[in-house]
Amino acid sequence: MVEYFYAWTPLVVVGAVVVLFLPWLGLIALMIATAAALAALAALAWAVVAAPLAVGRAIGHRWNGRSAAPQPSPAPSPAERTAPVALRHD
């Protein structure tokens, strides 16, 4: 059928011009474009805030990790593993 994607370019351009010249379709296209632009702006703002926050947290975790090596918890003895849990009744 159509081998190259740019063969559709004239149809897309003419279609866009027709849509923009019809007032109600142009208004719909403008609202869709505005919504897309606002979504892109919100994503950009989130990225601007989230990226430095993530970098700061990573640096903080690294600094905290270097101050003291994590100590492994001792394994419980067999008596501790099988000891029943005491219920407290007041």
Residue 83 placed within a domain: no
Residue 77 placed within a domain: no
Mean of all residue pLDDT scores within the chain: 79
Residue 30 placed within a domain: yes
Domain extent at residue 58: 8-64
Say if residue 40 is exposed, middle or buried (CB neighbours under 10 Å; 0-12, 13-18, 19+). Answer: exposed
Evaluate if residue 5 carries a pLDDT over 90: no
Q: How many structural domains comprise the chain?
A: 1
Residues 37 and 34: their CA atoms lie apart, in Å, by 5
Digit-coded pLDDT (tens) for 7-20: 888 898 998 888 77
Residue 47 placed within a domain: yes
Residue 20 placed within a domain: yes
Residue 85 placed within a domain: no
Residues 34 and 42: their CA atoms lie apart, in Å, by 12
Evaluate if residue 88 carries a pLDDT over 70: no
Residues 64 and 58: their CA atoms lie apart, in Å, by 10
Residue 87 placed within a domain: no
